[in-house]
Amino acid sequence: MSYKVGYTSRARKDLKRLPLEIAKGIIQSINSIKENPYPHVKKLKETQKNPLYTHRVGDYRAVLCIEKERLLILVIEAGHRKKIYRKY
């Protein structure tokens, strides 16, 4: 079963600010892990219900929330690795 991919408004803004080729690469990479996302992500932060994960695309990262029950990959943020981890 394939997961659906959703983007927060913050993630959409982040992707618009990135160069076009990098943004396309991030979107394609996230779409390519829809079948089984867990081997391609690293756990970032533990929360009560759904932990946060990070997905690496070159020097850029996407912060994801993966909901098993709803089969949803929610992209929370995207950006360069030197800035993306400051909030977490």
- One DSSP character per residue, 2-31 reads PPEEEE-HHHHHHHHHS-HHHHHHHHHHHH
Residue 34 contacts residue 64 (beta carbons within 8 Å): no
Share of the chain above pLDDT 90, in %: 83
Q: Is the pLDDT of residue 28 over 70?
A: yes
User: In the chain, what are the domain boundaries?
Assistant: 4-87
pLDDT band with cut points at 50, 70 and 90 for residue 47: low
Residue 14 contacts residue 77 (beta carbons within 8 Å): yes
C-alpha to C-alpha distance for 58 and 51, rounded to whole angstroms: 23
pLDDT value at residue 87: 83
C-alpha to C-alpha distance for 1 and 70, rounded to whole angstroms: 11
Model pTM score:
0.89
As a CATH number, domain 4-87 is 3.30.2310.20
Q: Is the pLDDT of residue 48 over 90?
A: no
7 vs 68, higher pLDDT: 7
